[in-house]
């Protein structure tokens, strides 16, 4: 009834004229012959309304055996993904069962409930009306099998530890008597799930200390699966101090599209979600990808290898390269003679045994040379084969005009080089007046990729000048004996007066940090610096758009953002977003703008800014 009263109030100015016209038409012949079809009225946008519950909401002394709950609505409803959306807190091993009976939804519990326990039945996005699909989002029905209903709550926000963006659908679990392995082996004392804004509210709690964990429950078993699911946790025990009462914002039902209202909800804590590094060490895969190249992938990072050999190949002829996390080893054979189709590799490394300990283990691998998948490939590409010589060394040359002064020219080869004649490369600069000068290049090999080289001019790049790079024929020869054709590249640094820049003065820098300019969704890095002292950073050649400044505390000086560990109680390395004076972490950059900002690292990581991580939708 309340629903219809509300509808009439909101549409009174539409209804009155319609009634008057109807009365007029009954007394005049001009309306009698109308042939227009009825419009059917306004579209229903109102969610279903609960008219009754059995037992009553917040009922006490509910039976523990063969318990059922019935929700009756003012209209027919449907259930959407009930097995995914509907869950009980605290959970049971068997999930609640649901069925629709007329205008009611009946929920039964396959297992007996615990005595003297408060339960919260969460419906997520499962409830919607049958006609238009209008949802009744995040409805929660509570009851107790004891004499009282627990009435405390805890709220917070779940964020990705790297992007600081909210994560939906994360299970946030509390454990009343926690052990180190609780999240792996024990059903939680209370659980809820984060909404599209990463927000969570765990209700009907006792005023006792809980351990808090959050994880992406992929298999819906209410326990964390290491190596499969992402996870986060609170450093300290959480004791609820907020008492539930009618009308409080934490308990209200929100339209998830109402950005302002959703972001105004009280949040007691931020929980950062990460993927733990695998801990079980073994050889997960290996493959010979070319006649002279292969790789081995390990199950966990930082593998320990005692010995590595290939039958019939001298050790000095083997080029090895680990990736930056030391869980993948690429290797090539720099041997002029023809290699056999099958190579036999012996490796002694530290493998995880059945007790979870690392023990020296010897494994022998058989590496078979890859065969051409399409036997007719050469015939199909006959014309191309005529144009290209068989011993052609192909490589990539990358140079972004907006990034070249930081990244330089990047050369990457399919396989390692046996010879590199960098001295023969010609690099020139031309001024707008046509003055051409030879410039000196500084060459460095990438520390994590033996196939990649960085070339930068000794003198800084100058905007508006032309830069020409000429790599002559046979400058490079790889381990297969292949040589390159000549390559030409022309580059002009941007001079568009519509471009903008950001200059950051970094102060109170007392550790090592990674400073990145990213887009507003933080999935694209435009420019990156690593600093360990006060400095000024320039981000030039920026188009109009939205940006953020992301700063990572690089505690172990490896240039990476490292995740945390549940068993070691170690949080991931801290990431923070620089906040403008208005409290926003999005920099809206217009054309022809040179923005200068001071970033105080003490405030960013230890002051107000470190707590202000406004979620984005």
pLDDT, tens digit, for every residue of 135-161?
Answer: 898 899 999 999 999 999 999 999 999
Q: Does domain 152-273 bear CATH number 2.60.40.1120?
A: yes
Q: Which residue has the tokens 């109402």?
A: 258
Nearest C-alpha neighbor of 154 from the set 172, 168, 140:
172
The reported pLDDT for the residue numbered 497 is 81
Nearest C-alpha neighbor of 504 from the set 616, 604, 575:
604
Going by the DSSP 8-state scheme, the letter that residue 26 receives in this structure is H
pLDDT, tens digit, for every residue of 45-66?
Answer: 788 999 999 999 999 999 999 9
Please state, as a whole number, how many other Cβ atoms lie within 10 Å of the Cβ of residue 147: 8
What would the mean pLDDT of 87-92 be, rounded to a whole number?
96
Nearest C-alpha neighbor of 501 from the set 550, 557, 539, 468:
539
Instruction: Please give the structure tokens belonging to residue 488.
Output: 């030409």
Instruction: Please give the structure tokens belonging to residue 460.
Output: 């800084």
CA distance 576 to 570: 18
Nearest C-alpha neighbor of 120 from the set 188, 38, 184:
188
The reported pLDDT for the residue numbered 231 is 97
Band the pLDDT of 384: cuts 50, 70, 90.
low
The HSE-up count of residue 344 (CA atoms within 13 Å, CB side) is 3
CATH of 385-492, one of 3.50.50.100, 2.60.40.1180, 2.60.40.3710, 3.40.109.10: 2.60.40.3710
The reported pLDDT for the residue numbered 336 is 82
Residue 358 has pLDDT above 90, yes or no: yes
pLDDT, tens digit, for every residue of 545-554?
Answer: 999 999 999 9
500-611 has the same fold as 283-368:
yes
Q: Which of 207-211, 400-404, 459-463, 555-559 has the highest mean pLDDT?
A: 207-211
For the domain spanning 283-368, the CATH number is 2.60.40
Instruction: Please give the structure tokens belonging to residue 162.
Output: 């790297």
Bridge-based pairing of strands 152-160 and 270-273 is parallel
The span from the first CA to the last CA of the chain, in angstroms, equals 35
pLDDT, tens digit, for every residue of 546-596?
Answer: 999 999 999 989 889 999 999 999 999 999 999 998 889 999 999 999 999
Mean pLDDT of the chain: 89
In terms of phi and psi (left: phi > 0; alpha: psi -120 to 50; beta: otherwise), the region of 561 is: beta
Question: CB of 555 within 8 A of CB of 511?
Answer: yes
Task: Give, in words, the CATH class of 500-611.
Answer: mainly beta
Extents of the domains making up the chain: 2-31, 50-144, 152-273, 283-368, 385-492, 500-611
pLDDT, tens digit, for every residue of 316-341?
Answer: 999 999 999 999 999 999 988 899 99
Range in 97-101, 168-172, 211-215, 461-465 the model is least confident about: 461-465
For the domain spanning 50-144, the CATH number is 2.60.40.1220
- The pTM assigned to this predicted structure is 0.82
Nearest C-alpha neighbor of 454 from the set 507, 409, 499:
409
Question: CB of 194 within 8 A of CB of 166?
Answer: yes
């Amino acid at each position: 009834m309340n629903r219809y009263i509300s509808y009439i109030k909101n549409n009174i100015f539409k209804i009155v004229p319609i009634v008057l016209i109807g009365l007029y038409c009954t007394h005049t012949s001009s309306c009698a012959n109308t042939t227009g079809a009825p419009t059917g009225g306004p579209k229903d946008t109102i969610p279903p309304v609960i008219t009754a519950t059995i037992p009553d909401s917040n009922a006490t002394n509910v039976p523990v055996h063969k318990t059922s709950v019935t929700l009756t609505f003012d209209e027919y409803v449907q259930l959407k993904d009930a097995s995914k959306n509907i869950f009980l807190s605290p959970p049971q091993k068997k999930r609640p069962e649901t069925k629709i009976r007329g205008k009611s939804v009946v929920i039964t519990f396959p297992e007996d409930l615990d005595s003297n326990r408060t339960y919260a039945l969460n419906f997520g996005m499962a409830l919607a009306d049958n006609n238009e699909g209008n949802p009744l989002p995040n409805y929660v029905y509570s009851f107790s099998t004891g004499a009282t209903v627990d009435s405390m709550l805890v709220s917070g926000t779940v964020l990705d530890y790297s992007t600081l963006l909210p994560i939906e659908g994360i299970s946030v679990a509390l454990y009343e008597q926690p052990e180190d392995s609780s999240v792996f082996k024990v059903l939680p004392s209370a659980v809820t799930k984060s909404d599209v804004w990463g927000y969570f509210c765990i209700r009907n709690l006792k005023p006792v200390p809980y351990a808090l964990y959050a994880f992406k429950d992929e298999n819906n078993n209410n326990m964390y699966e290491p190596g499969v699911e992402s996870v986060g946790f609170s450093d300290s025990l959480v004791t609820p101090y907020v008492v539930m009462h009618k009308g409080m914002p934490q308990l209200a039902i929100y339209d998830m599209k109402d950005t302002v209202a959703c972001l105004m909800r009280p949040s007691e804590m931020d929980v950062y979600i990460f993927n733990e590094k695998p801990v079980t060490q073994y050889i997960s895969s290996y493959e010979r990808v070319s006649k002279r190249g292969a790789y081995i992938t390990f199950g966990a990072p930082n593998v320990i290898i005692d010995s590595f050999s290939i039958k019939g190949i001298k050790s000095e002829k083997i080029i090895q390269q680990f990736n930056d996390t030391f869980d993948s080893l690429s290797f090539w054979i720099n041997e002029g003679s023809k290699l056999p189709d099958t190579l036999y590799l012996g490796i002694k490394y530290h493998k995880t045994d059945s007790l979870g300990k690392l023990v020296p283990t010897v494994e022998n691998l058989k590496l078979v040379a890859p065969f051409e998948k399409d036997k007719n490939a050469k015939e199909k590409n006959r014309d191309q084969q005529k144009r290209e010589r068989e011993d052609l060394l192909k490589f990539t040359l990358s140079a972004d005009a907006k990034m070249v002064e930081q990244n330089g020219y990047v050369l990457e080869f399919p396989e390692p080089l046996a010879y590199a004649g960098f001295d023969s490369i010609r690099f020139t600069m031309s001024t707008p007046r046509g003055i051409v000068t030879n410039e000196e290049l500084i060459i460095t090999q990438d520390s994590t990729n033996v196939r990649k080289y960085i070339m930068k001019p000794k003198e800084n790049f100058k905007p508006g000048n032309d830069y020409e790079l000429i790599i002559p024929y046979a400058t490079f020869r790889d381990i297969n004996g292949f040589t390159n054709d000549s390559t030409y590249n022309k580059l002009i640094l941007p001079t568009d007066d519509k471009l903008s820049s950001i200059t950051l003065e970094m102060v109170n820098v007392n550790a090592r940090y990674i400073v990145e300019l990213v887009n507003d969704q933080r999935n694209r890095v435009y420019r990156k610096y690593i600093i360990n002292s006060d400095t000024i950073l320039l981000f030039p050649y920026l188009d109009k758009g939205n940006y953020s400044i992301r700063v990572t505390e690089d505690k172990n000086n490896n240039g990476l953002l490292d995740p945390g560990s549940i068993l070691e109680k170690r949080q991931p390395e801290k990431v923070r977003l620089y906040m403008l004076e208005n409290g926003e972490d999005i920099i809206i950059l217009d054309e022809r703008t040179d923005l200068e900002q001071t970033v105080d690292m003490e405030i960013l990581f230890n002051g107000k800014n470190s707590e202000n991580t406004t979620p984005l939708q």
